[in-house]
Amino acid sequence: MTPTDRGTNPQTARKRLHVITWGCQMNVYDSGRMSDVLAPLGYVPTDTPEGADMVILNTCHIRDKAAEKVFSELGRLRRLKDASGGHMILAVAGCVAQAEGKEILTRAPYVDIVLGPQTYHRLPEMVARAARAANGGQGAVIETDFPAEDKFDHLPEQSAPRGVNAFLTIQEGCDKFCSFCVVPYTRGAEQSRSAVTILAEARRLIAQGSREITVLGQNVNAWHGEAPDGSTWGLGRLLRAMAELPGLLRLRYATSHPRDMDEALIEAHRDLPMLMPFLHLPVQSGSDRVLAAMNRKHTSDDYRRLVDRLRTARPDLALSSDFIVGHPGETETDFEATMSLVRDVGFAQAYSFKYSQRPGTPAAGAPGQVPEVEKDRRLQALQALLRDQQARFNAACVGTEMSVLFTGPGRHPGQIVGRSSYLQPIHVLGSASLIGEDLPVRIQAALPNSLSGTLIQERLSA
Ligand code: SAH
Ligand code: SF4
Ligand code: F3S
């Protein structure tokens, strides 16, 4: 039977699924898992929405006009749905769906399914209900509650390989309630998966060819899951167990909160060579006044001391961070304190944002909102400093030998691309057969966002 012959059975007929993913790495993971959930219904991923039988828009609510962006994309997708004679199933998932599900259905009634991040294990049932609704005209399906059951207990195994570097969500939700942030509302309370389910998923990823795993959580270092012996492990202990998995070459975790960086995790950086010496550790601000207003519950010196401890444990460690400029109440002096922290710590890479008022968060209604022009000015000054630090970090790599895990073909013929331990993209001339291998490369040039080098051939033939 050829694949097209299978079209006679509606349960298994081959259908095309296109998933659009916005937002954080956890959304990337969720998009993959939504594809897994739909695979048994015959849905096969496709790269374009044109001609797709189902399109899922997986959204992010973290900053600015998130909803406006969703509605403009939905307008585009509506035209494709109309072109399909209304046959295309249109679903909105992720954090905007969670926060503004009802508004989506009011403003975009052609959407068939709205689902929050905690309900996507129920997608098959939602698709069936949406199909019945389309025939009987009963309206759309909305699932944005936080269900009692754990979605991870109801997800099928991965249906498609995730590539050389894979994400694995181990913790979800957030109980920290930073003044500015929507995540505790869109993702719910902190929840940790058990070590047994995490290790089993990691083994499957490795069996399918993944060589690097990044364990994910909104507060990944707050993970405290049930251990195989029934006790409770923290992230440091989990990473030790993962480091023993045969076939795995590299480990990372993201995103961490400075407050949850315990001794066991710092020791894991000291003891596990495969735990990559690159840590994304958001600090948000260098001003203690602003950090207090943000409810971060640490000071800028706490952060400096933490970085010192990490660098003592792992001297080649490089850091990345997130910054917000213009949080309500931030003065020029506060902003200067952020610039000083950046100069003191030195970042290999960083993300920085203008504070954005998010509905329902404490900071949105706080006094002392900073004018937009002032936020712009501060962001530009901060980004110039961060860009300069990144350029210096990359320039210092030229002439050194770096280990590179090759992930895929490069842009030019004969080229392959991979990632250094610091996540820098690295281009070399080399055979595609090296994809999936971690090999030494002599770095020859630093470009703004990547490096290029040559494979160290002696090692290859050794
Ligand atoms: N859990 C992570 C970050 C999650 S959100 C942590 O605690 O660090 C990713 C980043 O988006 C945050 O680190 C923050 O810098 C930024 N961000 C979140 N809410 C924002 C807002 N209202 N305005 C601007 N940036 C924001
Ligand atoms: Fe948001 Fe703060 Fe939780 Fe991070 S720790 S997800 S910034 S509330
Ligand atoms: Fe965005 Fe939700 Fe992630 S708001 S950053 S997609 S947790």
The two tokens of residue 394 are: 């990359």
Q: How confident is the model at residue 162 (pLDDT cuts 50, 70, 90)?
A: confident
> Is any atom of ligand 1 closer than 6 Å to the C-beta of 260?
no
Distance 219 CA to ligand 2 centre (A): 7
Q: How far apart are CA 381 and CA 142, in angstroms?
A: 44
Residues in the chain: 462
Which pLDDT value is given to residue 213? Answer: 98
User: What's the rounded mean pLDDT across residues 63-72?
Assistant: 88
Range 15-34 average pLDDT: 95
- Residue for token pair 């909305």: 142
123 C-alpha vs ligand 3 centroid, how far in Å? 20
Assess whether pLDDT exceeds 70 at residue 9.
no
Q: What is the mean pLDDT of the chain?
A: 92
Read off the pLDDT band of 137 (50, 70, 90). Answer: low
Least-confidence region, from 127-131, 172-176, 224-228, 433-437: 127-131
Q: Indicate the pairing of strand 54-59 with strand 15-21.
A: parallel
Q: Quote the ligand 3 centre to 218 CA distance (angstroms).
A: 8
In this prediction, residues 192-221 reach a mean pLDDT of 96
The whole-number pLDDT of residue 212 equals 97
Point out the ligand nearest to the CA of residue 352: 1
Mean pLDDT over residues 189-206, rounded? 95
Determine if ligand 2 sits within 6 Å of the CB of residue 255.
no
Q: Is 174 in the pocket of ligand 2 (CB under 6 A)?
A: yes
Distance between Cα 212 and ligand 1 center (Å): 25
pLDDT tens string 352-369 = 999 999 999 999 999 999
Segment 169-183 shows an average pLDDT of: 96
**Banded model confidence at residue 449, pLDDT cuts 50, 70, 90:** confident
Q: What integer pLDDT is reported at residue 65 of this predicted model?
A: 81
pLDDT reported for residue 68: 87
Mean pLDDT on 76-103: 93
- Look up residue 429 and give its two tokens: 């001339």
Establish whether residue 355 lines the binding site of ligand 1, counting it when its CB lies within 6 angstroms of any ligand atom: yes
Distance CA 41, CA 316 (A): 47
Residues 258 and 299: their CA atoms lie apart, in Å, by 10
CA of 257 to the centre of ligand 2 (A): 8
Q: Count CB neighbours of 313 within 10 A.
A: 17
Pocket of ligand 3 (CB under 6 A): 23-24, 26-27, 60-62, 94-95, 182-183, 186-187, 218
User: Which residue's alpha carbon is at the smallest distance from atom 3 of ligand 3?
Assistant: 24
pLDDT of residue 136: 58
**Antiparallel, parallel or unpaired: β 212-216 and 165-169:** parallel
pLDDT at 411: 87
pLDDT, position 130: 87
- Residue 255 — very low, low, confident or very high, per pLDDT cuts 50/70/90? very high
CB distance 175 to ligand 2 below 6 Å: no
Question: In degrees rounded to 5, what are phi and psi of residue 425?
Answer: -70, 135
- Ligand 2 atom with least separation from CA of 182: 1
pLDDT of 2 > 60? The answer is: no
Report whether pLDDT(1) > 50.
no
Measured in Å, residue 175 CA sits from the centre of ligand 2 at: 8
Residue 145 pLDDT level (bands cut at 50, 70, 90): confident
Q: Is the pLDDT of residue 132 over 70?
A: yes
pLDDT at 122 over 80: yes
Q: Out of 22, 181, 261, 291, give the residue to mutate to test ligand 1, the one with the largest number of ligand atoms within 8 Å of its CB.
A: 181
Residue 139, phi-psi category: left (phi > 0), alpha (psi -120 to 50), beta (remainder) = left
Task: Please work out whether the CB of residue 257 comes within 6 Å of at least one atom of ligand 2.
Answer: yes
**Percent of the chain topping pLDDT 70:** 95
**Cα 22 to averaged position of ligand 3 atoms, centre (Å):** 8
Q: What percent of the chain has pLDDT over 90?
A: 84
- Please tell me the residue having the least CA distance from ligand 1 atom 13: 322
Q: Which domains does the chain have, with CATH numbers?
A: 3-143 (3.40.50.12160), 151-397 (3.80.30.20), 401-455 (2.40.50.140)
pLDDT value, residue 67: 82
CA torsion sign for 438, 220, 194, 267 is: positive
Greatest CA separation found in the chain? 71
Is residue 12 very low, low, confident or very high in pLDDT (cuts 50, 70, 90)? Answer: low
Question: Residue 265: CB within 6 Å of ligand 1?
Answer: no
Could you read off the pLDDT of 256-295 as tens digits, one per residue? 999 999 999 999 999 999 999 999 999 999 999 999 999 9
Question: For residue 462, is pLDDT > 80?
Answer: no
pLDDT for res 5: 41
CA-nearest residue, atom 5 of ligand 3: 24
Q: How many CA atoms lie within 13 A of 70 on its CB side?
A: 34
Q: What is the 323 CA–ligand 1 centroid distance (Å)?
A: 8
Q: Is the Cβ–Cβ distance between 113 and 90 less than 8 Å?
A: yes
Please report which confidence band the pLDDT of residue 4 belongs to, taking 50, 70 and 90 as the band edges: very low
Mutate to test the pocket of ligand 2, among 62, 181, 323, 324 (most ligand atoms within 8 A of CB): 181
Residue 20 CA to ligand 1 centre (angstroms):
21
Do 320 and 280 form a contact (C-beta atoms < 8 A)?
yes
For the segment 150-178, the average pLDDT, to the nearest whole number, is 89
